[in-house]
Structure 1
Amino acid sequence: MIQILKKADQFNRTIFNGNFIANKPVASGATDNVKPYSNIFYWSHARAIDQSEFGLHPHEGFEIMTFILEGSVAHYDTATQVWTPLEAGDFQVIQSNSGLQHSERITKGTRNFQVWFDPDFYEAVKKAPAYTDYHSKDFKPIIENGIKTIIYVGKGSIANVLTPGLSIKRLFFDQKSKYNLQLNKNSSYTFYVLKGDAKIDGKALTADDAVRISNLENLEVEFEVDGELFYIETPSVPDYKTVWS
């Protein structure tokens, strides 16, 4: 299965008087084409047109990951009780578990991903919350299948996460190129175009478009010039009941 999610087809939202805009390839309570699947509940790509702040608010059960693509974010939570700066290339993992509250200050010009996972909500809420910062220096690019790759989560990464069967990678294409990516037929994937014009399985995509994929063993990816893809791999069917299943 291949489902194209052009930016216009995602859940798009603007808040803070137009100073914070987001497009969401995964969003609960929105349209059917972006509804949660596998163990991924929410995925937002946000841009801060001006400095923005989310005041103290609660989370419970979910594992929340924020990836800083450009700019910087300062984060406070009731587990650490300190403000922590995160710069481009860094990411944070919040294991909200039995519950915490946090705040975020997002500088002007910042772009980030925030993704929520269900690590087995009904077990997670029995555990104490935890928060971990990871920094760009800890994630050196490698060459995997002939492609410059950063592994944020999964085999080869130092990141410790609760959500099972999870792999998160960023792929860099620095010239006109065509690759055949090997996929796990038992996994589901969402590929997000961070930069450039791409063809995925022959379908044209541009920056901020996404594509959901399942039940495939290989995928043809082509870029005309420099480009970047970010992708999340999850089990097609988690071996536990998710909160939306």
Structure 2
Amino acid sequence: MSKSFVLRAGERGHDVIYSDGSASSYVAGHPGSHISRESSFNFHQYQDGRPGFGTVRVFGDEVFNGAGCGYNMHPHHNFIICAFVLEGELTHINTAGRGMVDQLRQGDYYVFSAGSGGKHCELSISPENMNAIYLWLMPGQLYLPPSYHRAHFDIRTRRNRIVQLVGDADGALPVAQDLRVSRLVTDRAGRFTYTPRTPEHGVYVFVAEGGATVNGAALARRDSMGITGAGALALDVPDSSDIFFVETAMLDDARIRAWEKANGADLLD
């Protein structure tokens, strides 16, 4: 039997973090610059509310507002962090491997696996605001070597089909976890089917733009839905929609607490 929940856009957690005051060492930018964050799940400084979904701990819809706004250089251990740029330009500096400075624009995305330890910095240097979807994942194995991969989703040539961006498909960015991220951008109405690897996998569906009816549930812009135990997801999608699918192995709260006790909750940051 399938189980599901619907999270409306206005039900997400909401934070505004300014570049001055107590957060100035963490948030970059000129005075008055700020990060606005809409969070689907709760984790540390993110919203209080619904816990993570499977291996997903954070699903953040973030906007860097103002010149130079972003996150100053800061460390992570073991977490896998993905970013999908929807608007603007993201300058991403990271220490994986020999390190690199990357410029990401609309359609670009990355997977940064912090592993045994890494640092990164994310800034919106251009005058326009930057909007990205951030995804934080628990790793399948601790202390792997840090790694960084990036790619581009061409909206013009990959319309009207579900395309896997992260996971085990050819051309998808690799990730050390039982997880797949896919995207559907449409310019005409249609019916689509998303089939998870097994019914035991959960799928989190996020409507970035437009709308969709998913297994009978109507979702508008920035609405989302999590579903487990379903053999397939049937989507009726109007034109001009942009939809993300995050498929993950499911972990119940008891298994997560046991995992954290065995490995140390402080290892995930």
TM-score using structure 2 length: 0.77
Q: Which of 48, 55, 73 is matched with 2:72 structurally?
A: 55
Alignment map for 1:55-204 (pairs within 5 Å): 55-79=72-96, 80-106=98-124, 107=126, 108-120=128-140, 123-125=141-143, 127-136=144-153, 141=158, 147-154=160-167, 155-163=169-177, 165-183=178-196, 184-204=198-218
What is the CA distance between 1:180 and its match in structure 2? 4.3
Aligned to 2:29: none
The one-letter code sitting in structure 2 at the alignment partner of 1:169 is: S
What are the Cα deviations for residues 119-178 of structure 1, in whole angstroms up to 9, with x where unaligned?
A: 13xx422x33222232346x9638xxxx42322013233412111x21111012322323
| Alpha-carbon contact 2:150-2:173 (below 8 Å) kept | no
Q: 1:6 to 1:101 in 2, by over 3 A?
A: same
**CA displacement, residues 181-205 of structure 1 (integer Å, 9 cap, x when unaligned):** 4343111011000111322233222
SS at structure 1 position matched to 2:145? coil
**Aligned match for 1:221, one of 235, 240, 260:** 235
Using the TM superposition, give the Cα deviation of residue 117 of structure 1 relative to its aligned residue in structure 2, in angstroms.
Answer: 0.7
Question: How far apart are 1:63 and its partner, in Å?
Answer: 0.9
Asked if 1:40 is matched to 2:56, the reply is: yes
Structure 2 Cα separation of the partners of residues 173 and 83 of structure 1: 32
- Runs of at least 5 residues in structure 2 that lack an aligned partner in the other structure: 19-31
- Indicate if the aligned counterparts of 1:26 and 1:36 stay in contact, CA closer than 8 A: yes
Matched, 1:20 2:12: no
Aligned 8 A contact 1:141 1:150 in 2: yes
Q: Is the 8 A contact 1:55 1:103 kept in 2?
A: yes
Q: TM-score, normalised by structure 1?
A: 0.84
Root-mean-square deviation (CA, aligned residues, Å) is: 2.6
Q: Unaligned stretches of 5+ in structure 1?
A: none
Structure 1 residues 2, 185: closer, same or farther in 2, change over 3 A?
A: same
Higher strand share: 1
- Pick closer, same or farther for the CA change 1:76–1:209 going to 2, 3 Å: same
Q: Percent identity?
A: 20
Q: Which residue of 2 aligns with 1:234?
A: 248
